[in-house]
Amino acid sequence: MVCSIVPPYILRRLAAQGSPRFSAVARAAREALLHVGAVHAARTSAPTAPAGIRQLEPSPVNRSVFDAKSGESLPGQVVRKEGDAATGDPAVDEAYDGLGHTHSLYADAFGRNSIDGLGMPLKATVHFGRMYDNAFWDGQQMVFGDGDGEVFERFTRSLSVIGHELAHGVTQFSAGLAYRNQAGAINESVSDVFGALVEQYFRKQTAAEASWLIGEGLFTPQVEGSALRSMKAPGTAYDDDVLGKDPQPDSMDSYVRTRSDNGGVHINSGIPNRAFCLVAQTLGGNAWDAPGQIWYETLTGGSLSTATTFTAFAKATAATAKELFGEESAEHDAVRGAWETVKVKL
């Protein structure tokens, strides 16, 4: 079962390519599909910490980046530790910086002490596998492939990808949302939300200025597409002869019922993604302020079951907005309005 940043429907499409030009791409996609089952087992079986962990004085970031040297043994050889100078290897330095930017968002905006809330050191391995078309969180650390060079660039290029995968760790150590069906789509959506917020916080972009794209910069120039997903307009991130068209729905009117992709966790995440984006755009300003606070408190507050549905999550975010800002607040109205727009009943 697939739970890395690249949706399985993209990998399956690439794996089925029969053109000699894409033979290496097809092989890389097949290898990625075979590998992600182990990633799923690591993520879903990893222990979770008590919900609601928050420390007012987060500890300084503690990063280590490793080089797998095109192998698959983790973590690999350490190549940069906290405080070390840049190495000149783009993958190493992008991973190092991305870990730091993610830590900064959680510490500064939410008062969280690293991914687990307890000061967890942040680790990343780069140059994983040969032409590996994915990036993932394995329950303990980040892992990045270099891409196939034809469809995908190296996966450290996108800060939203780094933030996305580390957010799976936050969910692991707080809500522990199951990685299947609607709970899995919320799991994926929460990672997109905080992946986008990491990027926006680093760039100091308002909700209006942000692209709301997840995985921007991953595609090579040969691909007709801007990113893996668009939170603002699900279903529009790419439309390419090789990849096909982005299949994400933007409301429950086009919800995808499927057994593949763990019950559509990557496909249907577009619905709650758009809801968050609508809240942020309605309120204006910085999305990591009120909108991010509402989603963060909902995720870590202990009210979500592991099998949370879209409706239950929507009600929980509305309850959080009411608690934080009041029933008559613009924040509460924005949350309710966003879920109504994407046709999720409250």
Residue 1 neighbours by CB under 8 Å, 6+ apart: 36, 37, 40, 179, 262
Q: 274: domain CATH number?
A: 1.10.390.10
Q: 80: domain CATH number?
A: 3.10.170.10
In Å, how far are 52, 108, 124, 196 from 59, measured between CA atoms?
17, 11, 19, 23
* pLDDT for position 20: 77
DSSP 8-state assignment for residue 21: G
Cα separation, 284 vs 297, in Å, equals: 19
Asked if the bond preceding 291 is cis, omega within 30° of 0, the reply is no
Hey, which residues does 311 pair with through a beta bridge? none
Residue 200 lies in a domain: yes
Q: At what angle do helices 310-325 and 290-300 cross, to 10 degrees?
A: 120
* pLDDT for position 56: 53
Residues found in the chain: 346
Cα separation, 278 vs 152, in Å, equals: 29
| 159, two tokens | 């800060």
**Of 122, 141, 172, at which residue does a domain stop?**
172
Cα separation, 208 vs 205, in Å, equals: 8
Residue 274 lies in a domain: yes
| 205, two tokens | 């972009």
Residue 211 lies in a domain: yes
310-318's contacts with Cβ under 8 Å and 24+ in sequence apart are 310/182, 310/185, 310/186, 310/252, 310/271, 310/272, 310/344, 311/344, 311/345, 311/346, 313/186, 313/272, 314/275, 314/339, 314/344, 314/345, 314/346, 315/346, 318/346
* pLDDT for position 91: 98
165 is catalytic: yes
82 is catalytic: no
Give the domain extent around 146: 49-172
Catalytic site residue from 103, 164, 266, 332: 266
**Of 172, 194, 212, at which residue does a domain stop?**
172
**Are both 323 and 189 inside the same structural domain?**
yes
**Are both 168 and 185 inside the same structural domain?**
no
**Are both 276 and 327 inside the same structural domain?**
yes
**Are both 233 and 250 inside the same structural domain?**
yes
Tokens 């994407």 -> residue? 342
Cα separation, 189 vs 89, in Å, equals: 31
Cα torsion angle, 143, 149, 152, 155, sign: positive
Cα separation, 319 vs 339, in Å, equals: 13
**Are both 131 and 233 inside the same structural domain?**
no
pLDDT of the chain, 346 residues: tens digit per residue: 335 789 888 999 999 988 777 889 989 899 888 886 555 554 444 445 444 445 457 999 999 999 999 999 999 999 999 999 999 999 999 999 999 999 999 999 999 999 999 999 999 999 999 999 999 998 899 999 999 999 999 999 999 999 999 999 999 999 989 999 999 999 999 999 999 999 999 999 999 999 999 999 999 999 999 999 999 999 999 999 999 999 999 999 999 999 988 999 999 999 999 999 999 999 999 999 999 999 999 999 999 999 999 999 999 999 999 999 999 999 999 999 999 999 999 9
* pLDDT for position 48: 52
φ/ψ (deg, to 5) at 198: -60, -45
For 126-193, give the DSSP string. Answer: ES-SSS---EEE-SS-EEE----SSSB--GGG-HHHHHHHHHHHHHHTTT---SSHHHHHHHHHHHHH
Question: b or e along 31-57 (b: 16 or more beta carbons within 10 Å of the residue's beta carbon)?
Answer: bbbebbeebbebbbebeebebeeeeee
* pLDDT for position 39: 54
Catalytic site residue from 165, 188, 216, 297: 165
Could you tell me which of 121, 13, 6, 149 has the C-alpha nearest to residue 60?
121
Please state, as a whole number, how many other Cβ atoms lie within 10 Å of the Cβ of residue 300: 23
**Are both 168 and 186 inside the same structural domain?**
no
Residue 30 lies in a domain: no
* pLDDT for position 33: 82
* pLDDT for position 44: 47
In Å, how far are 80, 144, 290, 302, 324 from 111, measured between CA atoms?
26, 27, 14, 17, 16
| 25, two tokens | 């791409």
**Of 172, 202, 232, at which residue does a domain stop?**
172
Residue 123 lies in a domain: yes
Cα separation, 179 vs 197, in Å, equals: 22
- The number of distinct structural domains making up the chain is 2
The whole model's pTM is what?
A: 0.94
**Are both 159 and 206 inside the same structural domain?**
no
